C-alpha cells in the first residue's frame, strides 16, 4: 500500500522553476488543442494561424504591439497593487476615468503646443485614475472594506458614467446622431515613432521605472512588506494606511495613463468600449509574470499575440474570438496549478519503510 | 405596487441562488470569485440543454452539471494544488465568460421552446395565494421561485440544525481543528464548493431560461459580482441573503418602473444604482463588529495538513 506525502520544497533553482512553468504552458496548449478539436476545428491549423495572424506581416505585428502597449502599462499598475496583496480588480474603471480626464483636457483646452497638451492630458488621466483607485484604498486602509468588490463595482459605475456622457452631454453635434464624442484635435494625439505611436516607448520606460520602484526604493520595499505580512509591517513601524494609499495612487495612476494612451493614440476620442477588457486581462498577465515588472513585458507580448491571433482566426477561419478567452482561462488554470509543483514535492510513502527515509 | 414587488421577487431569484451558493462555498473556507463565470456557464448550458431537448429538467440538469464542473476546476486548483483563491476565481470568471460567449454563438436570439415556458408558468398557490398583498407578491410565481423559498429554508436548517452543518462551520472556521476532530476536511471543502457552484449556475439558468427566455450574450451582466457582495451583506446567513437578493432585484428593475411612472432620469444613472448600493453595503457591513456577522475565520486560506 502506498500513499502520497507532500513536502514543501526548499528553494528550487530558478532554472527548474521555469522548466516547470514552460511544461505547464505546453500542457495547457495541448489541452487547449484538445478543446479546439472537440469544438470541431483543427488545432494544427488554429495555432499556426494565430501565430501568423499576430506576427506574419508588418501590419499584423503592428497590431500585436498596439495591443501589447495598454496591456503592459495596465499590468504594471495592477502589479503594484498585487505586490501589496491589494486585489485591484478595478483596472477597467481606472482606465476609463483616465481616458475621460484626458478627453476633457483635449476637448476643452485650446491653443497649447502639442508636448504641453499631451503632458497635461497624461497628468489629468493619472490623477483621475488615481482618484478612482484612491476611493477603495481609503476605505480599505481606514475601515478594512473589501477592496475586490469595491474596485469591481467602480468599474461598472465608470462604464455607465462614460456611456452616459457619450450618449448625452458629450455627444458630438457633428456625429449625425451617432452617439460619439468629438474627435481629438491634432495636438492631442500621440506622435508616432517607427510607425507605432510612442506609447511603446512610454511602456518600456515604465517597465524599468516600476522595476526600480518595487525593488530598489524604500516605498517599494514597504509595499512588499505589507504584502507579505501586515503584522511584520506594523512591527517595523510602517504606516500601513499610507503605504496602501500611495501604492493605489500609483496603481490607479498607471491604469489611468493607459486610458490616456488609448484615447489619444488609438481611438482619438472617448468611448465606453475603450478599456477593451485590458483591466481584466492585465490581472492575468501580472500574475503570470510573477509580479515582476521585467517579466510583464514578455508575458504581455505573448498575450498580445494570443489576442491578435484570436481576432485574426475569427476573420480568416470563422472561429469566434471567444475561443481566445477560453484559451486564456485554460492557460492560466495550468500555470496556477503548476505553482504547486514548484513549491512542493510529492513523495511516495510505502507503508513498510520508516517515515524518516522518505522525508 | 404589487406588480412591481412580484417582479422584484423574480429579479431577485438569480441573486438569491448565486448568493446562497457562494455562502455555502465560503462556509467551507473557500472564497470563490468565479460566481459570475459559473452563472454564465449555467446560463448557457441550461439554455442549450433546454433548447435542444425541450425538457425543462434537462435544462436545469445541464446548468447544475456545468456549475459543478466549473467549481470542480476551482476546487482542484485551490484545495488540492493550493493555488491562490482570488486569482483562480477570477480566471474561472474569464473562462466562464469566454465559454458562454462561444457556446452561445449559434443560439443568439433563439427563444426557449414552449414546453419550457409552460413548465415555468405562474402557479397560484391555493390559500397562500389569496392572502391580500402577500399572495400576489410571493405566491403567484413559477415553480423555480418556490424552489428558491424552499432552498433558503433547507440551507438554514442544514447550517444551524444538523451535525453536518456544524461540521461545515468547523471546517470554515478552523480547518486544522476540524481535521483533528476527525472531520474529513477535504471532502467537505470539495462537496460544498461543487454544491455552491451548481446553485450559482442555476441562478444563471433562471436568467436565460425564464427571465429572458431568449439567449443574449453576457446575460448575467455583473450579477455574479453583486452576489459576492451580498454574501457580505447577508453576513453568511441564508435568510438575510433572501432579503438582500430582493432589495437588489428591486433596484435592478427600478429604472423601468420609474419610466413607466413618467419620471425621467437617464437610464445610465439608474443602471448605476445596484453597483453604488453594493459599495454602500460593503462599507456599512465592515462597521459591524458582532461576532456572528464575521466571515469564517479560515476564509481564503488554503489548508496544509503538513504545516499544521
Confidence of residue B289 (pLDDT cuts 50, 70, 90): low
Mean pLDDT within A280-293: 86
Confidence of residue A359 (pLDDT cuts 50, 70, 90): very low
Q: Measure A85 CA to nearest chain B CA, in Å.
A: 10
Average pLDDT, chain B: 88
Contacts of A157 in chain B (CB under 8 A): 272, 275-276
* pLDDT at residue number B72: 96
User: What digits encode the pLDDT tens for the residues A66-98?
Assistant: 889 999 999 999 999 998 888 888 899 999 999
What is the ipTM, given to two decimal places?
0.83
Window B:217-256, CB contacts with A under 8 Å: 222, 225, 228-229, 232
Of B92, B279, B287, the CB nearest to A143: B287
pLDDT at B295 over 80: no
Q: B82, A325: Cβ pair inside 8 Å?
A: no
Report whether B75 contacts B194 (CB < 8 A).
yes
* pLDDT at residue number B192: 95
Element housing A151 (H / E): helix A147-167
pLDDT at B23 over 50: yes
Of B94, B229, B287, the CB nearest to A149: B229
In DSSP terms, A336 is beta-bridged to none
Domain count, chain B: 1
How is chain A split into domains, by residue range?
A: 68-292
Report whether A296 contacts A286 (CB < 8 A).
yes
* pLDDT at residue number B265: 75
Dist CA A97 CA A256 (whole Å)? 6
Q: Which chain A residue lies closest to B100 (C-alpha atoms)?
A: A322
Report the residue of A96, A153, A339 to disrupt the B interface, i.e. the one with the largest count of B CBs within 10 Å. Answer: A153
What's chain A's length in residues? Answer: 359
Report whether B172 contacts B298 (CB < 8 A).
yes
Q: Measure B161 CA to nearest chain A CA, in Å.
A: 30
Q: Which chain A residue lies closest to B289 (C-alpha atoms)?
A: A143
Report the residue of B103, B218, B275 to disrupt the A interface, i.e. the one with the largest count of A CBs within 10 Å. Answer: B275
pLDDT at B24 over 70: yes
Q: In sequence order, which ranges of chain B are alpha helices (DSSP H)?
A: 2-27, 35-53, 56-75, 85-103, 114-119, 134-138, 143-161, 163-173, 175-180, 185-206, 223-233, 238-260, 267-285
pLDDT at B299 over 90: no
In DSSP terms, A6 is beta-bridged to A346
Does the predicted model carry a pTM greater than 0.80?
yes
How many helices (H) and strands (E) chain B has is answered by 13, 0
In DSSP terms, A346 is beta-bridged to A6
pLDDT at B195 over 60: yes
User: What digits encode the pLDDT tens for the residues B48-85?
Assistant: 999 999 899 999 999 999 999 999 999 999 998 888 88
The CATH number of the domain where B225 resides is what?
1.10.3470
pLDDT at B136 over 90: no
Contacts of B300 in chain A (CB under 8 A): none
- By the 10 Å C-beta count (0-12 exposed, 13-18 middle, 19+ buried), A330 is classed as buried
Average pLDDT, chain A: 84
Which of B20, B299, B19, B303 lies closest to B172 in space, CA to CA? B299
Window B:7-46, CB contacts with A under 8 Å: 33
Higher confidence at residue A282 or residue B127? A282
pLDDT at A357 over 50: no
Q: Measure B168 CA to nearest chain A CA, in Å.
A: 24
Which of B22, B21, B11, B65 lies closest to B41 in space, CA to CA? B65
Mean pLDDT within B177-201: 93
* pLDDT at residue number A358: 44
Of A39, A332, A344, the CB nearest to B91: A332
Inform me whether the C-beta atom of residue B280 falls under 8 Å from chain A C-beta atoms. Answer: no
Q: What percent of chain B has pLDDT over 90?
A: 42
Q: A320, B91: Cβ pair inside 8 Å?
A: no
Inform me whether the C-beta atom of residue B266 falls under 8 Å from chain A C-beta atoms. Answer: yes
Dist CA B219 CA A313 (whole Å)? 25
Which of A183, A152, A153 lies closest to A265 in space, CA to CA? A183
Inform me whether the C-beta atom of residue B81 falls under 8 Å from chain A C-beta atoms. Answer: yes
Q: A160, B272: Cβ pair inside 8 Å?
A: yes
Q: B95, A8: Cβ pair inside 8 Å?
A: no
Report the residue of A27, A325, A327 to disrupt the B interface, i.e. the one with the largest count of B CBs within 10 Å. Answer: A325
* pLDDT at residue number B51: 94
Of B87, B98, B266, the CB nearest to A336: B87
In DSSP terms, A281 is beta-bridged to none
Which of A71, A124, A37, A75 lies closest to A290 in space, CA to CA? A75
Q: B94, A139: Cβ pair inside 8 Å?
A: no
* pLDDT at residue number A48: 86
Higher confidence at residue B203 or residue B131? B203
User: What digits encode the pLDDT tens for the residues B243-269?
Assistant: 999 988 888 888 777 777 777 777 788
Confidence of residue B115 (pLDDT cuts 50, 70, 90): confident
Mean pLDDT is lowest, of A343-352, B57-66, B99-108, for: A343-352
Dist CA B256 CA B129 (whole Å)? 26
Dist CA A262 CA A102 (whole Å)? 10
pLDDT at A111 over 70: yes
Question: Which distant-in-sequence residues (6+ apart) come within 8 Å of B130 by Cβ?
Answer: none
Residue B124's CB: how many other CB atoms inside 10 A? 12
Dist CA B203 CA B19 (whole Å)? 9
Q: Measure A15 CA to nearest chain B CA, in Å.
A: 21
Report whether A88 contacts A95 (CB < 8 A).
no
Report whether A305 contacts A100 (CB < 8 A).
no
Range of the domain at B48: 2-307
Q: A164, B275: Cβ pair inside 8 Å?
A: no
Amino acid at each position: 500500500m502506498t500513499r502520497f506525502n507532500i513536502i514543501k520544497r526548499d528553494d528550487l533553482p530558478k532554472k527548474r522553476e521555469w522548466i516547470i512553468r514552460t511544461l505547464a504552458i505546453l500542457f495547457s496548449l495541448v489541452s487547449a488543442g484538445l478543446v479546439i478539436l472537440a469544438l470541431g476545428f483543427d488545432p494544427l491549423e488554429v495555432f499556426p494561424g494565430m501565430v501568423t495572424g499576430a506576427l506574419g506581416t508588418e501590419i499584423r505585428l503592428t497590431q500585436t504591439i498596439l495591443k501589447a502597449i495598454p496591456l503592459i502599462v495596465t499590468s504594471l499598475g495592477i502589479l503594484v497593487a498585487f505586490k501589496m496583496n491589494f486585489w485591484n480588480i478595478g483596472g477597467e474603471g481606472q482606465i476609463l476615468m483616465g481616458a475621460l480626464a484626458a478627453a476633457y483636457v483635449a476637448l476643452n483646452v485650446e491653443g497649447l503646443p502639442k508636448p504641453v497638451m499631451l503632458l497635461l492630458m497624461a497628468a489629468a488621466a493619472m490623477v483621475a485614475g488615481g482618484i478612482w483607485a484612491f476611493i477603495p484604498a481609503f476605505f480599505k486602509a481606514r475601515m478594512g472594506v473589501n477592496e475586490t468588490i469595491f474596485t469591481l463595482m467602480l468599474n461598472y459605475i465608470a462604464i455607465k458614467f462614460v456611456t452616459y456622457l457619450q450618449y448625452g452631454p458629450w455627444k458630438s453635434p457633428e456625429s449625425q446622431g451617432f452617439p460619439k464624442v468629438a474627435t481629438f484635435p491634432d495636438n492631442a494625439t500621440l506622435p508616432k515613432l517607427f510607425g507605432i505611436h510612442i506609447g511603446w516607448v512610454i511602456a518600456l520606460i515604465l517597465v524599468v521605472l516600476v522595476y526600480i520602484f518595487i525593488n530598489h526604493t524604500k516605498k517599494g520595499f514597504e509595499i512588499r512588506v505589507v504584502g507579505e505580512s501586515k503584522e511584520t509591517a506594523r512591527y517595523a513601524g510602517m504606516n500601513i494606511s499610507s503605504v496602501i494609499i500611495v501604492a493605489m495612487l500609483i496603481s490607479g495612476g498607471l491604469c489611468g495613463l493607459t486610458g490616456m494612451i488609448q484615447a489619444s493614440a488609438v481611438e482619438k476620442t472617448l468611448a465606453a468600449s475603450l478599456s477593451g477588457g485590458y483591466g481584466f486581462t492585465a490581472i492575468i498577465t501580472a500574475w503570470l509574470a510573477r509580479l515582476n515588472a521585467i517579466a510583464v513585458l514578455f508575458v504581455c507580448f505573448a498575450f498580445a499575440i494570443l489576442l491578435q491571433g484570436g481576432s485574426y482566426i475569427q476573420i480568416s477561419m470563422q472561429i469566434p474570438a471567444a475561443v481566445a478567452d477560453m484559451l486564456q482561462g485554460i492557460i492560466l488554470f495550468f500555470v496556477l496549478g503548476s505553482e504547486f509543483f514548484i513549491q512542493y514535492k510529492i513523495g511516495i510513502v510505502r507503508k513498510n519503510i520508516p517515515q524518516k527515509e522518505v522525508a | 405596487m404589487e406588480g412591481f414587488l412580484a417582479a422584484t421577487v423574480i429579479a431577485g431569484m438569480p441573486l438569491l441562488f448565486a448568493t446562497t451558493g457562494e455562502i455555502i462555498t465560503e462556509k467551507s473556507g473557500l472564497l470563490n470569485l468565479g460566481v459570475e463565470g459559473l452563472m454564465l456557464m449555467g446560463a448557457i448550458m441550461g439554455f442549450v440543454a433546454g433548447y435542444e431537448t425541450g425538457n425543462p429538467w434537462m435544462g436545469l440538469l445541464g446548468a447544475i452539471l456545468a456549475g459543478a464542473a466549473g467549481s470542480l476546476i476551482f476546487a482542484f486548483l485551490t484545495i488540492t494544488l493550493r493555488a491562490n483563491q482570488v486569482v483562480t476565481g477570477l480566471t474561472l470568471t474569464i473562462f466562464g465568460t469566454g465559454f458562454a460567449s462561444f457556446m452561445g454563438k449559434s443560439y443568439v436570439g433563439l427563444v426557449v421552446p414552449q414546453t419550457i415556458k409552460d413548465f415555468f408558468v405562474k402557479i397560484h398557490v391555493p390559500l397562500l395565494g389569496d392572502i391580500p398583498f402577500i399572495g400576489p407578491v410571493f405566491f403567484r410565481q413559477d415553480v423555480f421561485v418556490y424552489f428558491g423559498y424552499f432552498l433558503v429554508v433547507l440551507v438554514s436548517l442544514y447550517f444551524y440544525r444538523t451535525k453536518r452543518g456544524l461540521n461545515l462551520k468547523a471546517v470554515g472556521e478552523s480547518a486544522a481543528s476540524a481535521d483533528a476532530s476527525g472531520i474529513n476536511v477535504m471532502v467537505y471543502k470539495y462537496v460544498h464548493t461543487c454544491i455552491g457552484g451548481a446553485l450559482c449556475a442555476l441562478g444563471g439558468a433562471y436568467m436565460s431560461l425564464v427571465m429572458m427566455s431568449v439567449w443574449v450574450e453576457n446575460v448575467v451582466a455583473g450579477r455574479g459580482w453583486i452576489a459576492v457582495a451580498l454574501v457580505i451583506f447577508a453576513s453568511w446567513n441564508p435568510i438575510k441573503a433572501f432579503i438582500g437578493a430582493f432589495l437588489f432585484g428591486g433596484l435592478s428593475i427600478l429604472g423601468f418602473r420609474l419610466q413607466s411612472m413618467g419620471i425621467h432620469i437617464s437610464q445610465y444613472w439608474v443602471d448605476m444604482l445596484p453597483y453604488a448600493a453594493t459599495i454602500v453595503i460593503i462599507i456599512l457591513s465592515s462597521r459591524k463588529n458582532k461576532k456572528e456577522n464575521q466571515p469564517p475565520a479560515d476564509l481564503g486560506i488554503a489548508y496544509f495538513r503538513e504545516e499544521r
